[in-house]
Amino acid sequence: MADPRPPAVALEGVAKRFGGVAALRGVSLTVAEGEFVCFLGPSGCGKTTLLRIIAGLEPQNLGVIRMAGRDVSRLPPSQRNYGIVFQSYALFPNLTVARNIAYGLETRRLGRARVDARVDELLDLVHLRAHKQRYPAQLSGGEQQRVCIARALINKPSLLLADEPTGNLDSESSRAVLELIADVSHSRGLGVLLATHDPKALDIADRALSLRDGMIDDRIAETP
């Protein structure tokens, strides 16, 4: 039976030009709830631009973006329901692990008990409860990226965007992070769209696509 729920994100004919350069050429794609989709491709192929457009950080020239059935094509990032993970971690060095994760809730002025309970839930999810009061400089790269994943989930998004999340990690740590993202996607019903050049994603993602010259290349359509 067809899934009656709208996809976590659906793109229809998304195009983007920077001056005379076409970064994206009519990209159409859907990512279902609980589906982990990765884009593979070299630097400059349009992966980051596509994620930035979905996030509302960059306007598209053409095309429609829907999240959970809602047209968000012209809405600012604050009105789009997603979390995002970057290659560079972008953690606050002067805040503990717990405070970094809690930041998105603390700005909403929720009660301390609710914030603490949500932080503990996510620390358990990413297996970092023992590091709760540590600072980013006291963590390995893989542990810092786990904190970033927890932080991205704090407001219970329906979509997770990840831009080269393993780019600064060794092979063992990068596989662990990719497996964690897959586990979170499947256990939480979370749509994931990950941009990477890491071939290990082929073994872990539910679906892999290649982006070349701003277009989806069907030569990599499914994981082996």
Cβ 165 vs Cβ 177: under 8 Å: yes
Say if residue 129's pLDDT is above 70. yes
CA end-to-end distance (rounded Å), the chain: 25
Domain end residue (candidates: 111, 130, 156): 156
Q: Does residue 118 sit in the same domain as residue 192?
A: no
Q: Can you give the pTM of this predicted structure?
A: 0.91
Q: Is 87 inside any structural domain?
A: no
CATH number of the CATH domain containing 178: 3.40.50.300
pLDDT at 88: 85
Are 66 and 163 found together in one domain?
Answer: yes
Could you give the angle at which helices 97-106 and 141-153 cross, rounded to 10 degrees?
A: 20
Across 194-214, average pLDDT: 91
**Same domain, yes or no: 189 and 219:** yes
Domain boundary among 101, 128, 156: 156
113, 133, 156 — which closes off a domain? 156
Residue owning tokens 């980051």:
48
Please give the residue range of the domain that contains residue 218.
1-82+157-224
Task: Note the residue count of the chain.
Answer: 224
Model confidence at 3, pLDDT cuts 50, 70, 90, reads: low
Percent of the chain past pLDDT 70, that is, above it, reads 96
